[in-house]
């Protein structure tokens, strides 16, 4: 596995967060400004420059025990400061599968 | 980096000598394949023992003629997911009859000990102290083996057939 | 059924202990994720979008009811109440917690199930015909050989770190239900002129980024030599398979780059040097494994029992019987396929309740045995014909009597972007929409046999290349698009499908598929001509014209 920091071409084009999966249970988590992880996107540290993104990723990646596979993901900032996932993949990670899970009985 | 041999951590008597570095006058050395093949006789004439570090992408044919005069062959695991040296180890032991030290070097974790031992390795340059300490314990992890290798452990199939044979003999 | 003995059980338990130690070292930080990743993959644990995904092996697709109930237990206790049957005859759970995995494995080990080598660069679950042992005309039960190979390649000290994953499939029937031509090694059991049992060995098949149909490397390898011959292939591959590029690391690339003749020469040379090794299976060894497979005590039953004659008046029963019930080698018995493709449901999913209920029915009607097929359906392999009407009613109540086996709504689909971290696009919602479009079973019956396979990325877990209609999800500027191929097939005449036109966006996929099916209905020679045969006869062009003319 390539270290996330070796993804040198980190260039973000809009507000972004660092996300990963929590090691013990795999849950989707976001890096917070308090150098911790939260399952809530609204708790995440939001960066808007590539340098800040790289720094946040480096800091997050150092916590290999806490979470697995950190990477930078785009978000949208809505009026009133609400944070939304920036693409379909992140929407699915944040909100769950897009299908009805119940197998019809 | 601890060396595990004969099941326990021991002092490594071999010195890894880099290409271009001066050879010590005596004492055991491990040299690269290039250095060894450049002048095998000169190296083997030295007072100390000679071992060769053989890369995992090089055919064994060039090594085979020297096997009975070598004190160690070190096979390389650049990462533990690169398993080429397992085949080389089995070929050295089972096809070419090599019975000197067969050393695993590179990224060696406890999770490979059983596989490596079964493939014929008997010396391990272990990456982490905790893994080296756990060698004996780790080797006890498995008591059942499905496939025959040169290590002589009895396979599950053979144990079953022995059992069946002794049962029918006892009837 | 293969009955595990004390040795098999011991090995599984030893593997569980080892994995428990590995998880413990990971959670304490003693192992980095980089190190642990390879170790967890060797035991079927992936990290997906939402959570860890856990893949459990079902060797050659055979399950006992005890095992199925235990899978239901794992779904309920450690996951979210359902599991997903895969194209490798395995089952996977989507929401397992790493910290609880050792306990789940220990629960499974009690009934002889494990997750060894269900992922990672090693020998994967050896698959076989889901009708093995019951199909009429079969040469012999291929599972005996599957089991011999399974044991030989489990925790193999030389081949646990191959360049890439390695898959073997075995068939013993004329009609290949195990898709052997798209495997790293495909084995076709047959007899030589002297009546001896052996295998045609094929090598280098596979899908993914660079799809290849396997080529015959040896027309006949005697059964007693099959392990040594496989070992020779693996040794050549382990040493020469590419490790510099993950997309070029499968054996198909090595076979392609060397050419089959040169590759065969390397294997033969290695095989010759191995000589008369311990791997040669003597008659007793084969019989030892054969003796551990038990078969039901079939009764002598009539070909056409009264119960069946009476039920023939029920059109729903008849439709289901014609679709889902197949001939058995023993008179008076049938093989019953259960569709896991209900209208609007995710293909291959089963709830814990369905698994439990199915286990009860298998105990009652199928000598306690269930099969898993690569089409992501299940089967009861030994149903007395007189029991079919009662079984139909019970299935219907469980939502398992959808009469769409091998029809247009019997879709193979990978988990796609809803679950998978590799996916570029969603698969399951596409499948769900298609099942709604073709929900009328009479229309589906009119269309006839038609396999739609959907993959959410180029890795092709949904076998899109070999679908009669193949759908491949790709990403274009952040949007989901789908490439559509037609004319692929996975059977003894396996071939890759041909692209029909430009990729279409998510919202248009179902329309395009409907148009393709309509084009087929207009173009086919006669109702019996299957979709795939019409494509073969006419080529892609007439389909392209009709489907893309207005797009």
B133-171 pLDDT, tens digit each: 999 999 999 999 999 999 999 999 999 988 887 766 554
C276 pLDDT tier (thresholds 50, 70, 90): confident
Q: Of C97, C417, C418, which has the smallest distance from its Cβ to A25's Cβ? A: C97
Residue B106, classed as helix, strand or coil, is: strand
Pairing of strands C479-486, A37-38: unpaired
Kindly report the nearest CA distance between residue C477 and chain A, in angstroms.
11
What's the first-to-final CA gap in chain C, in angstroms?
53
Residue B78, classed as helix, strand or coil, is: coil
Question: Would you say residue A102 lies in a domain?
Answer: no
> What is the separation of C-alpha C273 from the centre of its chain, rounded to a whole number of angstroms?
35
Q: Taking the C-alpha atoms of C182, C187, C193 and C194 in order, what is their torsion angle to the nearest 10 degrees?
A: 180
Listed in sequence order, the DSSP H helices in C241-351 are: 251-258, 260-274, 283-290, 306-311, 315-324
Is the per-residue pLDDT at A5 higher than 90? no
Q: Do A1 and C478 touch (CB under 8 A)?
A: no
Q: Do C288 and B109 touch (CB under 8 A)?
A: no
Parent domain of A77:
8-95
CA separation for the pair C323, C310 (Å, rounded): 18
Dihedral sign for Cα C380, C385, C388, C391, please.
Answer: negative
Which neighbouring-strand residues pair with C383? Answer: C334
C29 dihedral zone (left: phi>0; alpha: psi -120 to 50; beta): left
C292-324 pLDDT, tens digit each: 999 999 999 999 999 999 999 999 999 999 999
Residues in chain B: 171
* Residue matched to tokens 């020998």: C123
Question: Global pTM?
Answer: 0.95
Do B110 and B142 contact (CB within 8 A), yes or no? no
Is the per-residue pLDDT at C542 higher than 60? yes
Do C189 and C500 contact (CB within 8 A), yes or no? no
Kindly report the nearest CA distance between residue B21 and chain C, in angstroms.
30
Q: What's the domain count of chain A?
A: 1
Q: Where are the beta strands (DSSP E) in C430-537?
A: 452-455, 469-476, 479-486, 498-499, 504-505
Q: Do C97 and A24 touch (CB under 8 A)?
A: yes
Check if C50 contacts A (Cβ < 8 Å). yes
The domain locations on chain B are 3-140, 143-171
Write the burial class of residue A10 (CB in 10 Å: 0-12 exposed, 13-18 middle, 19+ buried): middle
C173-198 pLDDT, tens digit each: 999 999 999 999 999 999 999 999 99
pLDDT recorded at residue B166: 77
Do C196 and C283 contact (CB within 8 A), yes or no? no
Q: What percent of chain C has pLDDT over 90?
A: 97
Among chain C residues, the shortest Cα distance to B159 is held by C7
C421-477 pLDDT, tens digit each: 999 999 999 999 999 999 999 999 999 999 999 999 999 999 999 999 999 999 999
pLDDT recorded at residue A6: 59
Among chain B residues, the shortest Cα distance to C289 is held by B157
Q: Do C82 and A69 touch (CB under 8 A)?
A: no
Check if C5 contacts B (Cβ < 8 Å). yes
Check if B166 contacts C (Cβ < 8 Å). no
Among chain C residues, the shortest Cα distance to B94 is held by C274
Is the per-residue pLDDT at C163 higher than 90? yes
Which neighbouring-strand residues pair with C60? Answer: none
Write the burial class of residue C468 (CB in 10 Å: 0-12 exposed, 13-18 middle, 19+ buried): buried
Is the per-residue pLDDT at C171 higher than 80? yes
Q: Do B147 and C18 touch (CB under 8 A)?
A: no
Check if C35 contacts B (Cβ < 8 Å). yes
Check if B38 contacts C (Cβ < 8 Å). no
Average pLDDT, chain C: 96
C134 pLDDT tier (thresholds 50, 70, 90): very high
DSSP B67: G
pLDDT recorded at residue A81: 84
pLDDT recorded at residue A103: 43
Closest CA to A92 of C454, C412, C420, C471: C420
C229-263 pLDDT, tens digit each: 999 999 999 999 999 999 999 999 999 999 999 99
The interface predicted TM-score (ipTM) is: 0.96
Average pLDDT, chain B: 95
B21-73 pLDDT, tens digit each: 999 989 999 999 999 999 999 999 999 999 999 999 999 999 999 999 999 99
A1 pLDDT tier (thresholds 50, 70, 90): very low
Chain C residues whose beta carbon lies within 8 Å of the beta carbon of residue A98: 418, 426, 429
B91-126 pLDDT, tens digit each: 999 999 999 999 999 999 999 999 999 999 999 999
Q: Out of A6-10, C55-59, C110-114, C311-315, pick the least confident.
A: A6-10
pLDDT recorded at residue C10: 97
| Radius of gyration, CA atoms only, chain A | 14
Kindly report the nearest CA distance between residue B114 and chain C, in angstroms.
8
Contacting subunits of A (3+ beta carbon pairs below 8 A): C
Check if C287 contacts B (Cβ < 8 Å). no
Please state which architecture CATH assigns to domain B3-140: Alpha-Beta Barrel (3.20)
Token pair for residue A23?
């090691």
CA separation for the pair B80, C243 (Å, rounded): 13
Q: What mean pLDDT comes out for the span C349-372?
A: 97
Average pLDDT, chain A: 89
pLDDT recorded at residue B165: 77
Q: Do B119 and C243 touch (CB under 8 A)?
A: no
Write the burial class of residue B129 (CB in 10 Å: 0-12 exposed, 13-18 middle, 19+ buried): exposed
Domains (range + CATH), chain C: 6-109 (3.90.480.20), 142-290 (3.30.413.10), 306-398 (3.90.480.20), 412-548 (3.30.413.10)
pLDDT recorded at residue A11: 87
């Amino acid at each position: 596995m390539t270290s996330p920091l070796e993804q040198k071409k980190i260039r973000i084009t809009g507000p972004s967060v660092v996300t990963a999966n929590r090691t013990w249970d795999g849950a989707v988590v976001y890096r917070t400004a308090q150098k911790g992880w939260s399952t809530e996107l609204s708790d995440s540290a939001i960066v808007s420059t590539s340098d800040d993104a790289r720094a946040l990723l480096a800091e997050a990646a150092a916590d290999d025990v806490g979470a697995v596979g950190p990477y930078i993901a785009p978000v949208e900032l809505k009026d009133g400061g609400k944070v939304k996932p920036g693409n379909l993949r992140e929407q699915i990670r944040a909100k769950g599968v897009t299908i009805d899970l119940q197998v019809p009985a | 980096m601890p060396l595990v041999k004969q099941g326990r951590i021991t002092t490594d008597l071999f010195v890894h000598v880099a290409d271009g570095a001066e050879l010590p006058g005596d004492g055991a050395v491990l040299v690269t394949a290039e250095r060894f093949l450049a002048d095998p006789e000169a190296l083997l004439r030295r007072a100390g023992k000679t071992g060769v570090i053989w890369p995992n992408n090089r055919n064994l044919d060039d090594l085979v003629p020297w096997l009975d005069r070598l004190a160690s062959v070190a096979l390389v695991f650049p990462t533990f997911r690169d398993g080429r040296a397992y085949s080389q180890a089995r070929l050295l032991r089972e096809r070419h009859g090599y019975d000197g030290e067969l050393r695993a070097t590179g990224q060696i974790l406890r999770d490979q000990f059983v596989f490596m031992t079964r493939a014929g390795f008997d010396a391990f340059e272990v990456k982490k102290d905790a893994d080296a300490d756990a060698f004996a314990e780790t080797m006890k992890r498995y008591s059942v083996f499905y496939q025959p290798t040169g290590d002589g452990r009895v396979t599950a199939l053979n144990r079953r057939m022995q059992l069946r044979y002794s049962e029918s003999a006892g009837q | 059924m293969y009955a595990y003995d004390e040795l098999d059980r011991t090995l599984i338990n030893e593997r569980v202990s080892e994995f428990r130690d590995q998880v413990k070292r990971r959670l304490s930080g003693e192992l980095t994720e980089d190190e642990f990743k390879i170790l967890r993959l060797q035991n079927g644990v992936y990290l997906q979008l939402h959570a860890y995904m856990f893949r459990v092996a079902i060797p050659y697709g055979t399950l006992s009811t005890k095992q199925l109930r235990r899978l239901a237990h794992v779904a309920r206790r450690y996951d979210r109440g359902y599991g997903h049957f895969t194209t490798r005859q395995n089952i996977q759970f989507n929401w397992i917690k790493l910290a609880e995995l050792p306990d789940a494995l220990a629960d499974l080990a009690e009934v002889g199930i494990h997750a060894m080598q269900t992922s990672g660069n090693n020998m994967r679950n050896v698959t076989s015909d889901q009708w093995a042992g019951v199909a009429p005309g079969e040469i012999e039960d291929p599972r005996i050989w599957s089991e011999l190979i399974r044991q030989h390649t489990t925790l193999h000290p030389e081949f646990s770190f191959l360049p890439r994953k390695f898959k073997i499939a075995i068939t013993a029937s004329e009609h290949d239900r195990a898709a052997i031509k798209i495997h790293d090694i495909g084995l076709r059991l047959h007899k030589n002129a002297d009546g001896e049992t052996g295998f045609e060995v094929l090598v280098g098949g596979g899908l993914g980024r660079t799809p290849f149909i396997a080529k015959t490397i040896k027309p006949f390898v005697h059964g007693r030599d099959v392990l040594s011959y496989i070992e020779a292939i693996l040794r050549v591959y382990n040493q020469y398979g590419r490790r510099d590029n993950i997309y070029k690391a499968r054996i198909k690339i090595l076979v392609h780059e060397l050419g089959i003749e040169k590759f065969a020469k390397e294997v033969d040379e290695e095989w010759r040097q191995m000589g008369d090794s311990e791997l040669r299976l003597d008659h007793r060894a084969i019989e030892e494994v054969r003796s551990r497979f038990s078969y039901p005590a079939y009764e002598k039953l009539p070909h056409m029992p009264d119960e069946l004659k009476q039920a023939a008046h029920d059109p729903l029963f008849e439709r289901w019987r014609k679709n889902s019930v197949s001939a058995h080698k023993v008179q008076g018995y049938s093989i019953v396929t259960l569709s896991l493709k209900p209208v609007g449901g995710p293909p291959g999913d089963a709830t814990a309740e369905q698994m439990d209920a199915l286990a009860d029915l298998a105990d009652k009607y199928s000598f306690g045995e269930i099969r898993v097929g690569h089409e992501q359906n299940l089967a009861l392999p030994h149903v007395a014909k007189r029991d079919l009407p009662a079984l139909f009613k019970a299935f219907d109540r469980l939502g398992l009597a959808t009469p769409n086996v091998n029809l247009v709504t019997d879709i193979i689909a990978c988990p796609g972007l809803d679950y998978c971290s590799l996916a570029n696009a969603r698969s399951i919602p596409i499948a769900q929409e298609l099942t709604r479009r073709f929900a009328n079973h009479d229309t589906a019956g009119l269309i006839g046999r038609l396999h739609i396979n959907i993959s959410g990325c180029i890795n092709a877990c949904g076998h899109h290349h070999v679908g009669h209609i193949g759908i491949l999800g790709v990403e274009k500027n952040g949007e989901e698009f789908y490439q559509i191929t037609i004319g692929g097939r996975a059977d003894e005449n396996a071939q890759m499908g041909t692209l029909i036109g430009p990729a279409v966006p998510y919202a248009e996929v179902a329309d395009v598929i409907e148009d393709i099916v309509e084009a087929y209905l207009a173009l086919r020679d006669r109702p019996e001509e299957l979709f795939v045969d019409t494509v073969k006869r006419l080529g892609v062009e007439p389909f392209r014209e009709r489907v893309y003319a207005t797009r």
